[in-house]
């Protein structure tokens, strides 16, 4: 009887730990969007990489968008600017690798600069708690 009870307790503990692990892994994936000038940009931040997606709608524009990142809570503060060649095809693309561990404390901001042909480039931004 003791072995059956211990086996049941072990099985329940295993199930609970996998649920907790899955929940904490999901908490470290965040997705935000912003819009300007008929464009919409999405940033997905996870522990493994940073991805972006840009929808240009009916705007004419090439593939010279930018995404710039700032982590002012880092010591020293860190800034990163993308190359001037990000694609605006409404699909997700990897922007860069991980930026460090998730603790939910740091404000990590992203500025998205869309590429609009023959006009000033609209921009917008998002902030994550990371």
pLDDT digits (tens, 9 = 90+) for 107-116: 889 999 999 9
Domain 30-129 fold: Immunoglobulin-like (2.60.40)
pLDDT of 1 > 90? The answer is: no
**Residue 40 host element (H or E):** strand 39-45
Domain boundaries, the chain: 30-129
pLDDT tens-digit profile of 24-74? 454 578 999 999 999 999 999 888 889 999 999 999 878 999 999 998 777
Helix runs in the chain, H state only = 2-27
pLDDT category of residue 3 using cuts at 50, 70 and 90: low
- Distance in angstroms (rounded) separating the CA atoms of residues 36 and 116: 11
pTM, full prediction: 0.74
């Amino acid at each position: 009887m003791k072995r059956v009870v211990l086996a049941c307790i072990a099985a329940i503990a295993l199930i609970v730990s996998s649920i907790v692990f899955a929940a904490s892994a999901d908490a470290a994936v965040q997705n935000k969007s912003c819009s300007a000038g008929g464009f919409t940009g999405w940033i997905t931040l996870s522990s493994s990489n940073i991805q972006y997606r840009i929808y240009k709608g009916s705007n004419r524009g090439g593939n010279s968008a930018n995404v710039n990142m700032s982590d002012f809570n880092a010591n020293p503060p860190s800034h990163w600017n993308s190359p001037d060649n990000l694609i605006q095809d409404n699909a997700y693309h990897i922007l860069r690798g991980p930026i460090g561990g998730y603790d939910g404390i740091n404000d990590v901001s992203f500025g998205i600069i869309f590429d609009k042909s023959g006009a000033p480039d609209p921009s917008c931004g998002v902030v994550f708690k990371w």
